[in-house]
Structure 1
Amino acid sequence: MKIVTRVKLMPEAGQAAALRSTLRTANEAANWVSAVAFERGVPREYELRKHTYTELKAWGLGAQAAQHVIKKTRDAYTALKANIKAGNLGKPGSKRRTKAESKPITFRPEAAQPYDDRCLSWQYDQQTVSVWSVAGRLRNVRFACSPDALKTLREHRKGESDLIERDGVFYLIAVCDIPEPEVYEPSGFIGVDLGIVNIATTSTGYRAAGRGLNRHRKRQLDLRKKLQAKGTKSAKRLLKKRSRKEARHIADVNHVISKTIVTAAERTGSGIALEDLTGIRSRVRLRKDQRNSLHSWSFHQLGRCIEYKAKRAGVPLVYVDPAYTSRQCSECGHIDRRNRVDQATFACRACGALMHADDNASRNIGRKGETLWAAGRESRVPATP
């Protein structure tokens, strides 16, 4: 499996200026390549290279850097096409889709620039890198990371690395190819019900309450409103300083929750069943005062965290259809909309079972996971010759 490891660069003043100039030059060149691609109907990478490679070399880009600029521009158009095909930008004729299709893709001045082993080399013992720049090769650029991250880089780094600048700080994001352990045969499945009031509830009784996270989001939103209304230079500096603070906090919470769930499954020899919530934001209709909570809900990030941690541990994971998991009784199987009394209470109209609604849903999800795994296991049995 492929994961990314991020290290922080600590360049000297001259090195930082060269890296900053490199990113701006590469992204300015990418914008020009994007305009050429858009004008010519987004040709294939080889054909696009014939129209742009010589000019990119004249900009001061090295051979490999020019190739990467062309490739990342073509990849951006491939991603745009995939998003349009999947309907992520709306229906044909919608304002958002029309805007995306009517102009070339643009890159921010500090957007990521890919590097391969020809223009970036790592010295793990010294914790330095040697990196190409428009000012020449920069040697002995120091980097910092945790001991675990350094071990992962040393043993598993493979492929390209991306140089980015964020709030004046440079980072290298390296791809590491880690071997996946063999998935074991689970003794059962832990159902995970995802929500906003409770971030995650498992069929084993673990519940990650969302009250603290929702309060944090509310504080950040109120503070942003006050600073934006104030509009002074100091307020804008503080807004910039606090940018992405909420996202970092949410990511940390999701990592802690996902690690707890995967560790419990690994310890008990169980699998994990998650709800497939794809497209839920477009399906659900809410009042205006509830929309912010729904669109701030990071269920996808939490699901990805659980997924990659499960792969690293060899824990089986399946995605199940969430239909009726909140209305069906986990005791008798009776489905009734009235079973869900309120957000927190489930009371079965048939057997009288009374329990927390999220506990009931997680048990239903776990049971669906067992059924899905059994069906998949049977389908993988080779046919008799």
Structure 2
Amino acid sequence: MPAARKRPHISSLVIEKFMTEGPKVLFDPKYTSTISLLLWSFEIVINLFVITRVPYTEIDWKAYMQEVGGFLNGTYDYTQLKGDTGPLVYPAGFVYVYSLLFYLTSHGQNIRFAQYIFLVFYLINFMLVARIYQKTMKCPPFVLVFMSLTSYRVHSLFVLRLFNDPLAMLVFYISLNCFIDKKWYLGSFFFSFAVSIKMNVLLFAPGLLVVYLVENGILQTLRNLLICAGLQVALAIPFLATNPQGYLIRSFDLGRQFFHKWTVNWRFLSVEMFADRRFHALLLAAHLTVLILFAAIRWRRNISSLFQLINPKTRWNCGVLSIQPDQLVTVLFTSNFIGMCFSRSLHYQFYIWYYHTIPHLLWSTKYSTPVRLLIFGVIELCWNTYPSTNISSLALHASHALLLIGLWRNNGCVLEPATIEEKPSKDD
């Protein structure tokens, strides 16, 4: 009986395709999945090297374990949950996720095992992001190589710091993949769960609201919003039943002060101006203004077409367009990026909030490839300058401004019938 033929390894197949197809594998978006499979294999090796060779740095893990330890010991009053770094300031989903990690890691003591768990999280996150880029077909595959292999800080945030920011983004990318597949209810569930791990995911919400209305109409939008709100309430029931005011103040504290010494984007400001409430109000006003301008002029044709989305006489049961993956991703990533541009403070772990979105945003502009890579490189350099300096902070703002201007100047609006198939009314 002949011996069974041994199946070649995935990486061998990818290398063989590169040898036969030539450099176009790196430049043709249809090869995105091929390159991502090869990179995924490299990522296993890279992350194992980081875990075993680079010393773990304690920042928040111990405090996380103390915070959820109080919950597991029967404390449901959010104002009483705290760790060495201060009170618990994340929503209820964080408590449940890190409670599971608490048990899996011997009450948080087995840090090496926690690092391996976060290695799995990293690999899942990478494949989710790669699938988004494969679906949008906008960026050449070589961009994934830069995104995967160049950022030491992103690897560090997962396997050396064990922050909740990467977990929140991982769950967000699950939701985005669901939205791409038109699984709106499931996507809304995971989006809300991501928010419950860390509130930064709400920066995607303005773009998502416009997408909901464009694709589904008012009634379906309300159902999706109900799923989002319902999950938040369900997760918070033990805490709301004990001290509802304390839970809402602590877990959704929008006025929380940040320390100037950790800021990446506002280092060039004085401590007094950095903490000034008037400065915060100015940033919020600028954030809302730019969001409205993008929603009314770059995502829709004009302000009247934006208001048309909430006209119950015409759009109650049906949206106006069938949105394609590229348009969906562009709107959500832009919404989040605008929030990053006008953030009161960006700390080093916040890089993960938009790192994997940067290539898509850059290739949504009309800049040349060298300019795109230069902007990406400067952003990466700024986030890897520790501690931040006046120059690195100014350079980060300049890079953000160039990217934002590039997104604004891109011809045409994202959600317009001229570029997307018109969605028929259910009454037709």
TM-score by length of 2: 0.29
Which structure is higher in RCO with an 8 Å CA cutoff and minimum separation 6?
2
Whichever of the two has the greater Rg, that structure is 1
Which structure: greater strand fraction?
A: 1
Which structure: greater helix fraction?
A: 2
